[in-house]
Chain A
């Protein structure tokens, strides 16, 4: 399997590896995948309670090089974005950036799932943001 240089770079120097305190009210945790499928990603975000901007993102991944690179890239991209903005990241963006081959697309899907799961977890702790999200979605559908 030939990897792109970007995958190799993220694999060799993964960004934002670590663990945030999942019990903190500002932290959202997403754990996706399954050990028997060969990949598990845990992505955590620390969100500013005032601005809803993701101030810090951390990950740990069990999986192939592409899975590690996809989650590493995801943390890089979502840091500094608002939670709503982070939800706009799609797996195809990751595929494109890392030049993932077709057999590795599921790694990018998992990374997108991890972002969503982390944000959902944070939203559960913040009902005020929960109500804001559908409002945006509704605005979009009526527009």
Chain B
């Protein structure tokens, strides 16, 4: 089952291993690297050095990047605050608002499918007396707007809802959510890392007040993120969580990562210019993969809605096959699984569980993240490998045999204790 390919050799035009885990991170675009390189060597200045050429050069490069990033989300350059990445941005947005608006209220609303950078930040705030409503999601992964409406209280200061989910790729209705928040005078933060450069974002149209962004999910470098903070209608204020030299208008001290920021800017510019044709191509590849898998294999289940979804995301459960054993069989393809065995916590994916699916569906799930550098030949190879390995593992699966015999697995009393 392991090895390099269906016939033991690699088809023409394919280099193994194949990377198809672009929600985890993306490779650096060579154009981005090219833009970054001078800022490691010749133009190494500190952007905060105000009295010499080296500093001015660095500062000018940072300001260009700020504009490139702002343009991709319909913001202005002054609204972009650089951070070390999206985890810091989420922390800064939520803790920063919580502290600044403490007088106004202490209630935060966020869905259960958020990234841990949001959920765990909210959990920490609960220890300090804040109240958090964790909104359930519908079986398709989307927030129920009526439930959101009902969750508001007169103490609500912040709603934090991601633009696109990192596991199932579903796109939340940001415009509707933003409208609800604006009507109630509640700030709206969105963790937009998966959506940035993949689908159009407009902070004004969507009434987003704060947005977490990161470079490495859109073919930029790691270790470089940003927080969009609205400057007017309304002017959003946040308390800093990192104190020091007062960089980034006091919201985030620390010497700027100039090469990273230059790369982030370039990555956003490329994404803005290429998005329409790139989206069509990537969605085409994703649909090709989905069609091949669901045509060849029975008992598959797509997790999350296909109607509002990142073009490159496919999250599919191959029922009665366990995810880790599946990954083991396709060891020349890099993808992820929601199986407990592949997670640090030994718990199956909380995102998939929140869709109301049984743990067994989560255990059987594979997340594909198709990106800029994937090709049709790679998709065909991955589909063929998947079909081969799923079929073999199903021959090994007592559950698949039982289902084929017409046995209802839910009627069986399983011994679950101790495992």
Contacts and interface: CB of A to CB of B under 8 A. Distances in A.
Interface of A: 1, 3, 8, 11-12, 14, 17, 19, 31-42, 60-65, 67-68, 103, 106, 109-110
- Interface core residue of A61, A63, A68 (most chain B CB under 10 Å): A63
A17 B401 CA distance: 12
A17 B396 contact: yes
B223 interface: no
A103 to B, nearest CB: 7
Contacts of B360: 35-36, 38
B303 interface: no
Given A35-B409, A36-B416, A60 B324 contact: no
A39 B2 contact: no
A62 B419 contact: no
Interface residues of B, number: 32
B419 A37 contact: yes
A41 B398 CA distance: 7
B398 A11 contact: no
A64 B339 contact: yes
B415 to A, nearest CB: 6
Interface centre among B1, B328, B419 (most CB of A within 10 A): B419
5 contacts: A32-B415, A36-B360, A60-B396, A62-B321, A106-B419
B325 A68 contact: yes
A65 B324 contact: yes
Interface in B338-355: 339-342, 346, 348
A32 B419 CA distance: 10
Given A37-B359, A68-B325, A14 B419 contact: no
Which residue among A11, A32, A103, A106 has the maximum number of chain B CB atoms within 10 Å of its CB?
A11
Contacts of A37: 359, 414, 416, 419
Nearest to B324: A64
B143 to A, nearest CB: 26
B398 A61 contact: yes
Given A12-B2, A64-B324, A64-B325, A35 B401 contact: no
Contacts of B401: 19, 60
B419 A33 contact: yes
B322 interface: yes
A46 B347 CA distance: 36
Most buried by B among A12, A41, A60, A64: A64
A110 B415 CA distance: 11
Contacts of A33: 414-415, 419
Contacts of B400: 62
Nearest to B413: A34
B341 A35 contact: no
Closest 3 CB pairs of A and B: A34-B414, A36-B359, A35-B360
Contacts of B359: 35-38
A34 B398 contact: no
A83 B204 CA distance: 73
Given A31-B398, A40-B414, 14 more contacts: A1-B341, A12-B1, A17-B395, A32-B415, A33-B414, A37-B359, A37-B419, A38-B322, A62-B399, A63-B325, A64-B324, A65-B328, A67-B322, A109-B418
B272 interface: no
B341 A42 contact: no
Contacts of B49: none
Interface in B367-419: 395-401, 409, 414-416, 418-419
B309 interface: no
